[in-house]
Each structure stands twice: as structure tokens, then as C-alpha cells.
A and B are shown apart, each in its own frame.
Chain A
């Protein structure tokens, strides 16, 4: 536990750096927030007045100081595009992104890990090459392009998938928020109708993301399985006549999972970032599309809030990976 706390403390400098860098970046964005805020017919005076109101006329360090002070009080500022406090927006949208990303990751894992195992067990075989081509193709597809194609084919042409209207069909109402994950919340109250609706909405964007996640997961699974299968303790296990089931699952896979878990964490944080484009295509009310819109609109506060959220998520994620690694690997527990 002490180690974990230390790790957490160790990631603070990165967090501080992220806050500073984001602050500076959003301040040098070319847009003029005051002009935007003042509206099309504003006079120079009213723009100046708004600038003063927003504190944009003060020197940067002073602005930063007040930003940090607000941050300490949990105030991330206001979004100009939605007109809401950034914190409210992010809290409302984070579950959508997280649910989408997790599902994408799960789909990716469900396909990539078995593929990676097969490729490693049959190294150099046709299956190995095929696996390599498939996963590489997956990672080579630009997500924005995949998303568009999937919508076109599965919604517009085939009509198999529901309208890409966001998390739920327009006429359905979301389940009462517990976790914010519709699939979980709907399951909690046993509303399977809503569950199916939410799942149907989720599947295309999740597949789009999942395709992208295939390659890194399959690659690392294959590589670490290969390394493990070549390890001496596997030879010992074979020499002990253990069944191939025990051999592959208990001995090889569990060892091979160690680097896979680390990669999964990276892939997850990567997907959280990559889904900005997917959210855009699927009208997904997540934080990625929120950030992109804000960035395009030179709307600083949401961008800062988004980046901060992501950084915290990233740190928590690494912590979770550590925990999983500790659970899997006795050696990690002793450091």
C-alpha cells in the first residue's frame, strides 16, 4: 500500500506539468474568447468589458493563479460552447466515453488475445500470418474512416444497426444513473429493453475502437506468449507431462499476461484519446467530442478540464495496472 501511495505521489509532478502546459497552450490558442463571447455585433468597448469580466486582460501568471485557486475548489470554469460549468459537462459525459472505450477495449481483447495466443502457439503458420495481417489492417484503418464506413454499411445500407443517434434511441430515456454506464445501470434495474437499446447503439462505435485496439494487444500477446513458450519453465512443465491445457493456460498465459496487462492500460488511455474522432462520427455524447469542439472553438476551459480529467484517469489507470500486476506477479509484491 505504501508503494502505491508513493507511486501516486510520484505522478503528481506530471499532473502539475500537465496543468501548466495545458494552461499555456490554451492561452496561446489563436481565438479571442472575449470576441467570441461578445457576439457578432459587439462593440470594442463591450469586448473589452467582457475581457475584463473573464479576467483575460490580466497577466498570465495572475490568470494561472486564479485558475489554480478555482481548480482547488473543484471549479474548472465555464464552457462557452455549452454554456455550462465544465465540471458538470465532464461528469455528465465521462461515463459515455468510459463505457464506449471500455467496450471497445473488451471487444479488442476478446478478439486479439485469442488471436495472439494462436499466432504464438502456431508461430510461422498460415494462422500466424493471417493474424498479423488482420490486426495490422485493423490498426491501419483511420478511425474516422472506419466509423463512417461502418455507419454507411450497417446503418444506411443494411439497416442492421440502429440510427447513430448517441447512447440511446431518441425516444428512450436513460436508466436512472448509478454508474452512468447505461449497460450496467439498465442491468441493475433489470430493464433489458433499455439494455438492448444501449448495447445496440454501442456496438458500432465500440467495434470501430476495438479494431484499432486489436494490433497492440495481439502483438504483445503473441510476443509475450512466444517469449514465455520459449522459457525454460515451460520446458520443465512439458517434461513433467502437464496437460497442454494446464501448460498453455496456467503456465504460459498467466505469465504472458503480465506485459499484456501493462499494454492494455496503455491501449485504454490511447483509446480514450483516440475516440475523439469516433465520438464525432457517432454523435456520442462523450468528453472526446466535447474537447474537440471546444478546441476548434478556442474554448479554453473545457480543453483544460478534459486534459486534466484524462491525466487523472491516466494516473489512476497506471495505478490499477500496478494492482493487477501485483495480483498476477508475486515478484511485484515484493518491491
Chain B
């Protein structure tokens, strides 16, 4: 009887090879983020104009860019920053959005109204443009990118956390906790929060992908991370002008890396949802 969560997870991974694949990719990305900078063959910042725009070769696996930097090294080194931004913004919105959703769903009333209105307001913005405006107004620094990405995800977290909380607000165990002498906050944080945690984790995995895309989109527009820091979005933007001229690798590899990372988090989120979803847990 493999009734434990771990056993279930193992089952999901074996029954669903796609999730296993995503998990392997995820581990690879994490390793790249941690060890990437010390493993890459070239200095990601070192130019070499004599070898600019070289096609992929044994020397430069992913080719070189306009001023001869090694794209492979840059792509690998960028992992840390891109994942870092995404993870930080997701953590931020998880803390604030998740809590707001909990409170909103649990207490209802005016708290719910206020938080709902804030969410509505954010939702009424075209989200990417809102992120752009925030970064443009506050300056394109990494913390501001994190903040902007967090803000545009806020309504999503509020909604998910709120819906899950509302479902459990009337649950027997909530009453039981009250009977056991817990006050509202105690019930909320001690009883309800742990229960919605799995769903929130799924949400985090799914939004990681979106956060990466968003940060890269900002960089693509020119409002993201500053040059010459390696970052996938900037690299795609830089490479965009070389696609038609035949130097496809300048944009393709960072673009593919970006896509793979987002893909990985999305698949992982899906897989996690299967693990968490009680309907699949018979």
C-alpha cells in the first residue's frame, strides 16, 4: 500500500514519464544555476570581435554573438539570474498574494472586498504593460523586475488561495479547531494554510514559467536586466536582428533555453497538480 505522498509521487512519476522528464530537467536547471558559472568553457562577458557571429562548432557549441562572446557560456550562466528573478518574484507573490487570499477567503466581509478590489484593479490592467510601467517608473533593476513580476501575479495567487480557503472555511476541521480553542488567526495559519499549501506549490511551479517569460519579455523590450549581464530575454532581443541575416544561433539558443525552462516548470506544475489532486489519489 503505497499510500504516502512520496509513494504517490513515485507512482505519478513512473506512470507519467513526462513529469519525470520535467523533474530531470528541473534538476539540470538547478545544477546549472548553482554550478554553471564555474563550469562554462568561456568567460560569458569576454568579447572576441575576431570571432564574432561564429556558427556553432566544437569550439563554441552554441556559436558566438555580435562581439564574439560564447553563447553557450552566456546561456548557461544566465540560468542563475533568470531562475533567480522568477523564484524571487514567485516567493514574493506567494507570501503576499497567498496570505491575502487566505485572509480574504477566510474572513470575507470588508477584508474580502478590499483585497478583491485590489485584485480587480490589477487584473483590469493589461498585465505585461503594467509590469513595463512599473519597471519603467521605478528603474530597471533586478529588485524592480522581481517586484513588477510579483505584482502582476498577485491576483492569481489571491484567487487560488481564496478559492481554496473558501472551500475549507466551512470544513469540519475548522470548526473542530475552534472547538479546540484556536482563534481565527490560529485556525487560518495553523489549520487552513497547511491544507492549501500543496495547491499553492503547484501554482508556484506554474507561475515560475510565466515569471521567467515575463522577465525575459521585459528584457526583450529593453526594460529588463542591464547589459552585459547574460540574460535570456536580452540575448533573444540581441539575436533577433540576426535571424534574418542567417545567424540564427544568436537568438535561437537563448530562446530555446528560455522555452525549455518555462516548459519544464509548466510540466512540473502539471505533474505536481496530479500528485496533489485528490481525484487522482484513490
Please tell me if A325 contacts chain B, counting CB pairs below 8 Å: no
Please tell me if B42 contacts chain A, counting CB pairs below 8 Å: no
Determine whether the beta carbon of A148 is less than 8 Å from that of B128: no
Interface residues on B, range: 35 or more
Determine whether the beta carbon of B123 is less than 8 Å from that of A314: yes
Please tell me if A277 contacts chain B, counting CB pairs below 8 Å: yes
Across the interface, name the chain B residue whose C-beta is closest to A155. Answer: B244
Number of A-B contacts (CB under 8 A): 146
Please tell me if B18 contacts chain A, counting CB pairs below 8 Å: yes
For A219-242 the 0/1 string (1 means CB < 8 A from B) is: 100000011001000000000000
For A234-253 the 0/1 string (1 means CB < 8 A from B) is: 00000000000000000000
CB distance from B29 to the nearest CB of A (A): 13
Please tell me if A310 contacts chain B, counting CB pairs below 8 Å: yes
- Residues on B with beta carbons closer than 8 Å to the beta carbon of A215: 266
Determine whether the beta carbon of B125 is less than 8 Å from that of A145: no
Across the interface, name the chain A residue whose C-beta is closest to B263. Answer: A140
Q: A144-B217, A272-B126 are in contact. Are A136 and B133 (CB under 8 A)?
A: no
The interface-forming segment of A12-20, A49-57, A87-95, A109-117 is A12-20
B interface majority secondary structure: helix
- Residues on A with beta carbons closer than 8 Å to the beta carbon of B138: 28
- Residues on A with beta carbons closer than 8 Å to the beta carbon of B249: none
Determine whether the beta carbon of A148 is less than 8 Å from that of B132: no
Please tell me if A47 contacts chain B, counting CB pairs below 8 Å: no
Please tell me if A26 contacts chain B, counting CB pairs below 8 Å: yes
Please tell me if B120 contacts chain A, counting CB pairs below 8 Å: yes
> A141 vs B223: C-alpha distance in the bound complex, in angstroms?
20
Pick the contact of B133: A124, A141, A303 (CB < 8 A).
A303
Across the interface, name the chain B residue whose C-beta is closest to A307. Answer: B125
Determine whether the beta carbon of A311 is less than 8 Å from that of B124: yes
Determine whether the beta carbon of A142 is less than 8 Å from that of B217: yes
- Residues on A with beta carbons closer than 8 Å to the beta carbon of B251: 145, 148
Count A interface residues, CB 8 Å. 55
CB distance from A83 to the nearest CB of B (A): 22
Interface set of A (CB-CB < 8 Å, partner B)? 11, 13-15, 17-18, 21-22, 25-26, 28-30, 124, 129, 132-133, 136-137, 139-145, 148-149, 152, 156, 215, 219, 226-227, 230, 269-270, 272-274, 276-277, 288, 291-292, 295-296, 298, 303, 306-307, 310-311, 314-315
> A307 vs B123: C-alpha distance in the bound complex, in angstroms?
11
Listed by A's residue number, 26 A-B pairs whose Cβ atoms lie within 8 Å are: A11-B124, A13-B120, A14-B120, A14-B123, A18-B124, A124-B15, A129-B16, A132-B270, A133-B267, A137-B263, A139-B262, A140-B260, A142-B220, A142-B258, A142-B259, A144-B236, A144-B240, A149-B255, A156-B244, A215-B266, A273-B128, A288-B129, A295-B133, A296-B136, A296-B221, A307-B126
Determine whether the beta carbon of B128 is less than 8 Å from that of A141: no
Pick the contact of B217: A133, A270, A277 (CB < 8 A).
A277
Q: A292-B221, A314-B123 are in contact. Are A129 and B18 (CB under 8 A)?
A: yes
- Residues on A with beta carbons closer than 8 Å to the beta carbon of B223: 296
For B1-43 the 0/1 string (1 means CB < 8 A from A) is: 0000000000000011110000000000000000000000000
Across the interface, name the chain A residue whose C-beta is closest to B220. Answer: A144
> A18 vs B117: C-alpha distance in the bound complex, in angstroms?
11
Nearest 6 CB-CB pairs, A to B?
A273-B126, A140-B262, A140-B263, A14-B120, A17-B121, A311-B124
Determine whether the beta carbon of A295 is less than 8 Å from that of B136: yes
Please tell me if B127 contacts chain A, counting CB pairs below 8 Å: yes
> A142 vs B222: C-alpha distance in the bound complex, in angstroms?
15
Determine whether the beta carbon of A136 is less than 8 Å from that of B220: no
> A315 vs B124: C-alpha distance in the bound complex, in angstroms?
7
> A277 vs B209: C-alpha distance in the bound complex, in angstroms?
18
Across the interface, name the chain B residue whose C-beta is closest to A280. Answer: B221
CB distance from A132 to the nearest CB of B (A): 6
Pick the contact of B139: A18, A30, A315 (CB < 8 A).
A30
- Residues on A with beta carbons closer than 8 Å to the beta carbon of B258: 142, 145
Across the interface, name the chain A residue whose C-beta is closest to B236. Answer: A145
Q: A11-B120, A295-B132, A307-B129 are in contact. Are A139 and B266 (CB under 8 A)?
A: yes
Q: A13-B117, A292-B129, A295-B136 are in contact. Are A132 and B18 (CB under 8 A)?
A: yes
Determine whether the beta carbon of B133 is less than 8 Å from that of A25: yes
From 236 to 257 in chain B, residues with beta carbon under 8 angstroms from any chain A beta carbon are 236-237, 240, 243-244, 248, 251, 255
CB distance from B149 to the nearest CB of A (A): 14
> A296 vs B137: C-alpha distance in the bound complex, in angstroms?
10
Q: A139-B266, A145-B251, A156-B244 are in contact. Are A29 and B136 (CB under 8 A)?
A: yes
Please tell me if B183 contacts chain A, counting CB pairs below 8 Å: no
- Residues on A with beta carbons closer than 8 Å to the beta carbon of B243: 148-149, 152
> A59 vs B15: C-alpha distance in the bound complex, in angstroms?
64
Q: A29-B136, A145-B259, A230-B279 are in contact. Are A18 and B121 (CB under 8 A)?
A: yes
Pick the contact of A306: B117, B120, B126, B233 (CB < 8 A).
B126
- Residues on A with beta carbons closer than 8 Å to the beta carbon of B216: 142
- Residues on A with beta carbons closer than 8 Å to the beta carbon of B217: 142-144, 277
Please tell me if B134 contacts chain A, counting CB pairs below 8 Å: yes
- Residues on B with beta carbons closer than 8 Å to the beta carbon of A152: 243-244, 248
Please tell me if B204 contacts chain A, counting CB pairs below 8 Å: no
- Residues on B with beta carbons closer than 8 Å to the beta carbon of A143: 217
- Residues on B with beta carbons closer than 8 Å to the beta carbon of A26: 133, 137
Across the interface, name the chain B residue whose C-beta is closest to A308. Answer: B124
> A269 vs B213: C-alpha distance in the bound complex, in angstroms?
17
Across the interface, name the chain B residue whose C-beta is closest to A312. Answer: B124
- Residues on A with beta carbons closer than 8 Å to the beta carbon of B244: 152, 156
